[in-house]
Structure 1
Amino acid sequence: MNSKGYDMAKLFSTKLTHVSPVWYDLKSDGDKLVLEGQHNYDAGWVSELQGGVSLVVPRVVLEAFPGVLLLKKKSRNKAIDLIVSECRDKGYDGVVLESWSRWAAYGVLDDPELRHLALQFVKKLGDTLHSTRLKSSTRNHLEFIYVIPAPRMQGLNKQDFGPEDLVQLADSVDGFSLMTYDFSGPQNPGPSAPLKWIRQSLTTLLPAKDSASHMIFLGINFYGNDFVLSKGGGSAITGRDFIHLLEKYKPSLQWDEKSSEHFFIYSDEGARHAVFYPTAMSLSVRLDEAREWGTGLSIWEIGQGLDYFFDIL
């Protein structure tokens, strides 16, 4: 989480049920597993948030090589023990796990046996967290949120997280953080989260609509993108960058009906740029969509937005 995010989390803690600092990576070191990121822990900040209404559930990214992690029962148990022990030692309220995109990159999801082991690992981690009680806690269990990618197309492929996967994990997971952002990139410049794509993702994952919608945290981006149209390339921008560009180039904001997002065009040193960044209107449309489906929200990242975004939540 960026530095401004720490302040925003405290300032708007009454609007945030969970806060997930991006502190941890679980990696392979030869045949060993190592949980990196303990040095990021800020006891005072965690305590201040937990004194309010927010639960602190740090993100753990599973970087470990699948051959080390998934194929050996001893390694799977060790990974779970490292995560749960860190929750117990630091007094966290649970964790957010991100692993699906890494498993896709390693080819795990193309192999039926490895895919099964991967899902079983997520299930066991969730079950272990749910059965772990903290002496200082009045809650029933540690919470477990699992990060899932949004399906890119209506027809699912092997690497997609689908409705069957959701059903299989539902009893072991408290919520699914659905990454309905990053739709476009430097090679295909455009909107960050087209509304049609968001609806399509929800329809694919929740064919019964009301079945597990309460478990979905619909992804909302507080960042934007500045794409270089004539040369290719571009980068993510924060609210501060957005304001700087508006003041420097004084462009006209345009509303894209197809994606329900605002954008503007500007030129710099002969290169044309397209900037997509959230606005009150684009955020309101997505909040309405979340209400209609009965989902929660998952924001990436709270410190990257404009301050008034929290007035809309």
Structure 2
Amino acid sequence: MIFSKTRLIFILICALAYEISASQTLSPKNKGTKKKSAEKTDKKPSKERLGPQKYSVFDKNFVSQEVTAKDIVNNHRAFFTETDEYNFDGLVLGYVTPWNNHGYDIGKIFGNKFTHISPVWLQVRRKGPKKYEVTGTHDIDKQWVVDVRNAGRERKTKIVPRVLFDGWTGKDYTELFNNPKERLSLSKTLIESCKKHKFDGFVIEVWSQIAGAVNPDSLVELIRDISDLFTVEGLDFILVVPPKRNADLFTSKQFDALYDYVTAFSLMTYDFADPTRPGPNAPINWIEDTISAISLNETRRKKILMGLNFYGNDYTANGGGPIVGHEYIKILEQFPELSFTYVDKVAEHLFEYKDKDGINHLVFYPTLYSILQRLELAHKLKVGVSIWEIGQGLDYFYDLL
């Protein structure tokens, strides 16, 4: 059987499903009762809607467990015209990549929905003893930064580019961990770059790269030394941290040790599955377990940014891989009669299709309903959210934020 492995997983997942709860605790600030009644009969428009609309996805009752390919195709590019309004009161970080131009548009349109936006532009490299360089600055779009900051009336979105430790050797890390002067030089280089380009801080990604290979206490010391200088300069410092997996690379001990030193922790609660073990992108129970494992103290969780994937995965018996919004829509356009299944246990929708070559596919991609379940979980756990990445999702997703 061509699809036996994936099909088996599909059956196992569906076997876990149980009756869905209809309760919703996170509601939009602008509910518009009269608008709802006016739009109930218009859930399935005959042609695609584009751009700003008088009604939100809540008003049009699109945030439902029941979804169809036709509804998604016809409405995914429409969004509520009041883009200044936001529904989620915690920290909201959105990542933007230079290889996905639509993300830049999303940042300008919905900037007020985000407290922070992190363009994936920069790398830091070690050039020699106590010599460091921030690269990738050619990708910086100064006008875009201004536009995003001015996108909303109620709050000014902070621009905090991600900085990746790139091209480092084991010797480079050893020197950094063992020599305080190296850490000071690195910190000054990062801050000088931040101030030169008038950023509000940085998102630092190093922990997930080397956590399994070094003493975690050394990593804690490194982050503390860098963040101390960021604090002095009034800059935000957001640390990317890995989720709970087979080996816990970031624990409650490290969270407590760093809590007072960072603005927030960007928790990578996505990519639970992969082509070698097809399944849901980020089961909601796994997300909750991961957050609870980091901190049981609700008052301290406000600094945890629960990772949300705005991309999906298309699996086959031979592997498959990630898909982004326009690829997902293309599938739905080709197979308008396909049937969605909502798996309550993991709070995700999935569907199957057979391509023109007769190959079976299993697809997991976020829907309005699955995203809302995660936003409600964030509300319940008193955490913020981080989205990878805003150019990969559908435009009407942002009505939820």
TM-score by length of 2: 0.70
**Of the candidates 306, 310, 333, which is equivalent to residue 247 of structure 1?**
333
Residue type matched to 2:118 in 1? S
Pairing partner for 1:122 from 223, 243, 246: 223
Q: Secondary structure at the match of 2:339?
A: coil
Cα deviation, 1:160-199, whole Å, max 9, x if unaligned, reads: 1011101111111011111110101111111111011011
Q: What are the within-5 Å matches in structure 2 for residues 1-313 of structure 1?
A: 1=97, 2-29=100-127, 32-52=131-151, 53-63=156-166, 64-65=168-169, 66-104=173-211, 107-108=213-214, 112=215, 115-132=216-233, 141-152=234-245, 157=247, 160-208=249-297, 210-228=298-316, 230-231=317-318, 233-250=319-336, 251-268=338-355, 269-313=357-401
Secondary structure, aligned partner of 2:281: coil
Distance 1:191 1:72 in 2: 43
Separation in 2, partners of 1:207, 1:84:
33
Structure 1 position 55, deviation (Å): 0.3
Check conservation: 1:98, 1:146, Cα contact below 8 A.
yes
| Separation (CA, whole Å) in 2 of partners of 1:51 and 1:255 | 39
Kindly indicate whether the alpha-carbon contact (under 8 Å) linking 2:183 and 2:226 is maintained by their aligned counterparts in 1.
no
Identify if the C-alpha distance between structure 1 residues 30 and 266 changes in structure 2 by more than 3 Å, giving closer, same or farther. farther
Larger RCO, structures 1/2 (Cα 8 Å, 6+ apart):
2
Q: Name 1:137's counterpart in structure 2.
A: none
Equivalent AA in structure 2 for residue 297 of structure 1: V
**Equivalent residue of 1:270, what SS?**
coil
Q: Do 2:275 and 2:321's aligned partners in 1 also have CA atoms closer than 8 Å? A: yes
- Rounded to whole Å, the distance in 2 between the matches of 1:120 and 1:104 is 13
Query: Is the contact between residue 120 and residue 163 of structure 2 (CA under 8 Å) also seen in structure 1?
Result: yes
Question: CA offsets per residue over residues 239-293 of structure 1, 9 Å max, x none?
Answer: 1111100111332111122211001111222322111100011011101100001
Amino acid in the other structure paired with 1:301: E
Separation in structure 1 between the aligned mates of residue 132 and residue 321 of structure 2, nearest angstrom: 33
Two-structure CA RMSD over aligned residues (Å): 1.5
Report the CA distance between 1:78 and its aligned residue. 1.9
* Aligned AA (2:138): H
Q: Is residue 122–residue 161 contact of structure 2 (8 Å, CA) maintained in 1?
A: yes
Q: Which amino acid aligns with 1:43?
A: K
* Distance in structure 1 (CA, Å) of the matches to 2:132 and 2:360: 46
Give, in whole Å, the separation in 2 of the partners of 1:304 and 1:48.
Answer: 20
How far residue 94 of structure 1 moved from its aligned partner, in angstroms, is 0.6
Q: How many residues matched?
A: 292
2:15 alignment partner in structure 1: none
Partner of 2:34: none
* Bigger CA radius of gyration: 2
Shift of 1:29: 4.3
Please give the alpha-carbon distance, in whole angstroms, between the structure 2 residues aligned to 1:197 and 1:249. Answer: 31
> Is the partner of 1:252 in helix, strand or coil?
coil
Q: Output the CA distance in 2 between the equivalents of 1:202 and 1:238.
A: 26
Q: 1:72, CA displacement in angstroms? A: 2.8
Give the secondary structure class of the aligned counterpart of 2:261. Answer: coil
- Give ranges in structure 1 of 5+ residues lacking alignment: 133-140
| Deviation (angstroms), 1:77 | 1.8
Using the size of structure 1 for normalisation, the TM-score is 0.89
